A and B are shown apart, each in its own frame.
Chain A
């Protein structure tokens, strides 16, 4: 089924499934089959922020004063997050837009992906501030075996789904010969891969990001790298919303409220979804060891961070109605919650530091040279 950028067939989007129905034609939002995606779009738009709104000048001094092993923790996390958001800034669009059938979901995918590009821009903002040559940090993302290993499992499901969609779009269902290789294309295996891909994205946003978040907030608990923590707090707020989005897609499919065929597919994917969670938790624990290989930081070490991985994995499994897989019941990092509380609670400005305080503020980087033209 070839993709059309404007499907000429008059269709009723209220009767279409989320994916693999007719291509979307009119981008209309006056009616929705799944109103939740419209609400997510509204919320995401209300969250809009720019990295430059957050002042990082003190972070530079903090970074200079850090021990080498703490710099390693800080920069490695940024590298990993850069990898994750590089993937997320493009993949929902590339993978899901060609097969989406609801206008509200199509726009949610675009809104979601766009917000991930803001996150990527914010990493450049942070890295440019703390190191003189950002290239050294960015280049290491594709050279560092610890990160490359993660990139493979983060992108595996997306890449296979995109390949299968290309074959479906070009050849249609059936058995085909492609470059001397036999390729079987079936809609049901595509739908199965779709479900697994969304589950792996859910794990990416629900588990993988949180190890880095914990480290960023642990620095800020010691009153260092606070500008970075403010940026990460904004990113964490967006990620919670994206996570709600993928959970909705998975639950709508599994419950039969969308495409009836997806109910059996979701059921048959259960074990593999649990395996995706298990693999991610395992990799994140390994990542924690790599972060702290040269030494721990005050308030956080590989063991506590691994416990947090187990705890957050359990929480996310419950969110999808799956059984918990780890023993841990209570949050080993209770102070994380204070950082994950959104700013949409109204507080008096003197009672809290507002993340967006610097909107439209003047440049706060000043040195003696700025006073050169002053005459008294």
Chain B
């Protein structure tokens, strides 16, 4: 018998042995493959006659099963449910058996039937990817004992010595045909041309054997590279062991486009390995947000195998956590959710079908504004208000006496870890080596918690219930209104409120310390944690683009006292804006950010105008690289399905003519041109001539971006355009009521003309 201590890499299904396969990174550096017998149980509920028929049917099946009557808890029913427990000794057989049973007996309710193997293992042994474990196994590699030594909620787990092999083609396959494969291993860079393929496969095979990586980190691995390698392997006839698991091919999942929350989303095809991880940087969810560290954290906290954690949305992650908690508590996990909403009166619906409170801000420029945010408001309400499908909600400010429900038990540890990590992050300076990793992990937590609320109201979620979702939003509105009342009682002016954030201002309050009393009072009145996001030197709330009198809730920008910017809703935040326009707007905001007092406004506004003029001159002089002028718009349907093709569709049709198919939900990058055709897709082989670029349109986009930002600083669009074009313009004088026509060339200092 041997013992190992190390990190758990993966939990896989074992088609031969029937149980699970565990891949472990032992402390000695060995990669150990262990197998473990694993029996799986699923349940069926229905009338006694139906269950008897199912019993007889199951006995007649070739798969040996243990049958028993049991009573288990369904979350949506008050009393325990009588069920038939079907224990399948070989986990690999369970899914097939269940599907046949469901086909034969469609009228029964099934529970714990389609739970992924890794989650079942997690519920029974508390395992998770990169967990520290101790295992004992016999000489055949069968596990006799298993203990997990740490928890997903530990703040600083010891990092395993992962071996990472990076693979990427030398060019973006969507843009041009790549010529070689670049491989990085530690400090070494290799380059293998795709032609001749035999040499590539042999070299790659030798490298894989020598390095034995745990993770293949690729670019375009899912969508282009790995399929290409597999094709070459087939062509050349030399086997290439991408998996560590012997005797299995790679696992493929097809690409798909789906509709969610008003948008079409595209997921590229996926290729997963066995015994080793494959993560594609360009096909991993939220990669830009939290990259590899965040992906490790998502897998750690949700229990999903690493390859899945990288590719599924946070919603699936939260669902996995709920399932694992339910299994541990002995609560049945429904296969198809049956629970429907209670009938309600119209007045009842009118009062509960609401979201968060979103105010209309007081438009204009405001100085010395404090921005206070509830920390993870909805998850905190779910945990402290004990909101779950099976519980009655309570006031977070009042200590309750009801037992915590499934959702608070699932979220509680995650919320604690998030708060602990954020508090630590607030104390770390930005240059600290741990800062980036902590930030990535905090981001992973944020996404999981954000989606949990959505799942509560999602009709297809296993543990969703719309009344619970409504209770959370009601709790949020109540908390925000209480916070407003507290702020006004303490003499603050509430400029704006947005679901879980308030912007408050008081004449004497300019330093963070001045807001502490407010924070304490709000925390006491609401029972939720609240923190000061920062004190703005100034913040500008923008009005609607269509009507300048109407305020808009989510378009604003401001500068904190430490000089950092916060921008919401402007062009620079949109993903379809050209980088050059976005940068122009950012530079203007940064220039305006130097303002510290109302008196400085005219001078900074003039400086910002000069920045804009300089950027426009660069554009006209041809100094802006083409890549900076790319506009990226999403396709909402197949290019041929448009009745009047949008610019993105016209660009996609150009690509289609060359054989590059674009799917709905994919973003098409293109340049604006003069005349016809008015767009030029970026992935076409030859870039357009610079002279053909529609510089006027780009200048117009930049002007509009600048208008939005300069308007609160007293620069009206008319003045802005006249200034930029060097034309004479009318400057209204306050008193007496006359206007003075000024020629742009005879200008005195700009600040004398801008009135605030």
* Chain B associates with chain A: no
Interface residues of B (CB under 8 A from A): none
Interface residues of A (CB under 8 A from B): none
